[in-house]
Chains A and B, each alone.
Chain A
Amino acid sequence: MPLENPFQDPLRFERRIPECAVAIFGANGDLTKRKLLPALYRLAYERRLAPGFAVVGISRTPMSDEQFRASMHDSVAKFLEDSPFDEEVWSAFAQGLYYMPGDIGDPASFTNLAAHLKQIEDCRHTAGNVLFYLSTQPSQYATAAKGIGAAGIAQGKGWRRIVIEKPFGHDLESARALSNELHEVFRESDIYRIDHYLGKETVQNILAFRFGNGIFEPLWDRRYVNSVQITAAESIGVEGRGGYYQEAGALRDMIQNHLLQIMATIAMEPSATFQPDAVRDERAKLLRTVRVMKPDEVLANTVAGQYGPARIGGADVVGFRQEKGVDPESQTDTYAAATFFVDNWRWAGVPFFIRSGKRLPKRVTEIAIQFDAAPHAMFGDNGDEATPNLLILRIQPEEGISLRFLSKRPGAGMKLRPVSMDFNYGSSFGERSPTAYETLLLDAMIGDATLYTRQDMVEASWGAVEPILDVWQNHKFDFPNYDAGTWGPKASDEMLARHGQTWRTP
């Protein structure tokens, strides 16, 4: 048998997905309808899927294959982003969609699934390769994994992998417990913990920017970088998810996973190769060097916030405590900011300011790297000269990179002003970017875990965040402490002021 496909043409062909089946638990849920099936359909539209590709949907709702196909047809047509819906492509794709009602708590469901997968393997030539996707409540992850194991389908003729969504535990101990339970059935290399931020094109572009160019990396350390700010702001509130959010909060929901992963991508050392584990090793090493705050340092280096009611654009906006399903005395942080330091040679002494919040003035995620000012003010003090160089990496909504530097104002005299040199990802490359789920599903099916989070990374980030949570849990905050539609609590500005800094206004 040939060892590799002789028809491959990597210069012109996109990455291809080998023959496989995807078993989605929670197939009648929102994530499946809004993200997973549209992403899989799009991969079919782009002709990336193997001819016999199959999906088995599993959820408690009784439904036939035909009803499942009809339901997914409507969802994909509705939620497909930036691309046309083609009935012909859909009808070929839908032939590979199957459904079986089943309850994760019922062992018989897994026995049925095993029979379904065997049948699909025979008729669609999926070679026994299966990706299990748990689009369920996190509390069901361990039960589902154990059910898969007990039914004997965690191993088979081909590869078997499992994908889980965050949160990966609610603290270090529960994260470890979850990993241990998953490891009873799957090897760590077969567990794909999805962090959809890492699937965004521009987060991946950080690696290209840093390690594909020679000119930035020499500046990328404590000698030239003054500070780094990472902002993930949302203009919306909890949007009906008050009950869930009340248990999570901004620190757990955003900083522990997405933003610390972004910080790791910004600050990690270059890996020798672009192999998945080489890149993940460097991210994990960076996360392990994030300085763990002592209890008495927490309140000075972190800020918790909660939005109160306000009037925005002529409309009244309720505060978090007035949201449906939220305790009127809730101590949940809808805003969190922290100053982290990285204890390694490259970053010693450079503060990483991270903030995330709901009901901020606009939706924006960006990283701002502030460089040191010129060592000598040869043009005198003319106002703008003190403006430091900034490199801004925008993740959303307008993905791109900007470099701010000083330029002479036209005319007599030597007056300087800051100007911005911009690279706009969307307009420089007009091609449609794949959605994060397209990228991540494709990677999981190919077996490329570069953009997935590994157990040691999860534990290292909990290690940095848990001491903060411990102090916050025992502290009574005077919430609400910022108005909806503002950039967060005053204490957050004060935290930066203690380092001689101010938050950027994105």
Chain B
Amino acid sequence: MSATIQPERVLRELAELWVTLGKESDPSHSSGVLRACTMTLITLVEESEDPSDVWSTMAALMPEHPSRAIVVRFRESASRDLSSRVFSQCWMPFGHRRQICCEQVEISASDASLPDLAPVVLPLAVADLPVIVWCRSPRLFRLPDFPQIDKIAHKLILDSSAFPDPAGILAQIRDGKKVVGDLAWTRLTHVRELISQIFETRDYLARLPGVNQVQVTYGGSVRPTSAYYLAAWILDCLEKAGAHPQLSWVAAAGEPAGRIFGIELAGSADGGLRVNISISGDRERQYAEVQIDSLPTHTAFPPDNDYMLLREELGIPARDAVYERTLARAAELAGEKR
């Protein structure tokens, strides 16, 4: 008989954890331990991934998105064993007397035990709060039983840039009708915000309908999902402003694959608007040089690591109309290439 998990036992362990934490708190301060929770966050990872990477991302997220964090580590195995351990993560905000603690549950599972997982995880979700599933592995997303986990999620977070077939995954997300957060889209927020900010200036906004060319430069030889997203979003916005530009692509073959390196919007040669954005740096710190006509500016983007991306996505638990509209157009653009 394979090992399994009793959700009631896990819940009992969680309750005991709080009692222990309460006893461990400094008796000289009546302030004790504060428990915080805004959601259940289920993270699906491959067993081969370093668990400390995942837990350090969780730790960074907890102060802003305190949640019951459940990390499920999958191994490729025919055994249907499931096991769990329960622990807490506490921190003392600077200058404060009270510890903040969050519950964490780690479950070890196998591909074969995926069908057994949903009945275990569902009772562990915190009542009345959203359940977010973050699937870090394309392989897990492709497992036949994945929909069983997916269906308990209010929102599914994945990273389409990790999938080998950009057109395929974009079409699959679009057709799934699920609330999805795609980290390939999230990575574009800063550059999209920068573009948007340019057109807060009335002079530039007035010249927007004259834009007739859009060029997107991406790294590597395969056009990534982020390039489709960005192009789709720009085209959509320009069409709303009455422009009907031509789209062109530039592959910067020597640059790291999957990233965006430049965007150009151009109007007709005489007096038309010309906006050129070049992005440099690495994922820890990116810089954007912006040239609008003859006015140069310079800005820095925060790092786009897992913590920053998740932080943004967890802040949007419901449907995102701009994303969904862009997704439909991006899937169309990618489909054309096919």
Contact = CB atoms under 8 A, between A and B. Distances in A.
Interface of A: 1-2, 5-9, 11-14, 16-19, 45, 47-52, 86, 88-89, 91-92, 95, 123-125, 127, 397-398, 420, 422, 424, 426-431
A12 B316 contact: yes
Nearest to A3: B205
5 contacts: A9-B192, A16-B200, A19-B200, A52-B297, A427-B36
A420 B98 CA distance: 13
A148 B3 CA distance: 80
A51 B193 contact: no
Given A127-B202, A424-B93, A430 B64 contact: yes
B241 A2 contact: yes
Name the 5 nearest CB pairs between A and B, nearest first.
Answer: A430-B63, A7-B196, A92-B298, A6-B240, A6-B237
Contact of A51 (B30, B202, B297, B321): B297
Contacts, number: 131
A91 B298 CA distance: 8
Contacts of A431: 64
A125 B199 CA distance: 12
Q: Looking at A5, A14, A86, A422, which has the most chain B CB atoms within 10 Å of its CB? A: A5
A358 B66 CA distance: 38
Q: How large is the interface on B (under 10, 10 to 19, 20 to 34, 35 or more residues)?
A: 35 or more
Interface string B210-244: 00000000000000000000000000011011100
- The binding surface of chain A is classed by DSSP as loop
A427 B200 contact: no
- The binding surface of chain B is classed by DSSP as mixed
A405 to B, nearest CB: 15
Contacts of B312: 12
Contacts of A127: 201-203
Contacts of A16: 196-197, 200
Nearest to A124: B295
A92 to B, nearest CB: 4
A13 B312 CA distance: 10
Contacts of A1: 202, 205-206, 209
Given A2-B208, A7-B192, A8-B196, 9 more contacts: A2-B205, A18-B201, A18-B202, A19-B202, A45-B300, A50-B200, A427-B63, A428-B100, A431-B64
A50 B197 contact: yes
B199 A7 contact: yes
B322 interface: yes
Q: Looking at A8, A86, A397, A420, which has the most chain B CB atoms within 10 Å of its CB? A: A8
A157 to B, nearest CB: 10
B200 A17 contact: yes
B96 interface: yes
A92 B312 CA distance: 26
Nearest to A53: B297
Given A92-B297, A424-B93, A51 B63 contact: no
A427 B34 contact: yes
Interface in B290-316: 290, 292, 295, 297-300, 312, 316
B190 interface: yes
A347 B142 CA distance: 62
A51 B321 CA distance: 27
A8 B31 CA distance: 43
Contact of A2 (B62, B98, B240): B240
B9 to A, nearest CB: 25
A45 B196 CA distance: 16
Contacts of B152: none
Contacts of B241: 2, 6
B193 A50 contact: no
A429 B322 CA distance: 26
A430 B242 CA distance: 42
Given A9-B192, A9-B322, A424 B34 contact: yes
B200 A18 contact: yes
A398 B238 CA distance: 46
Q: Looking at B193, B208, B316, which has the most chain A CB atoms within 10 Å of its CB? A: B193
A12 B206 CA distance: 24
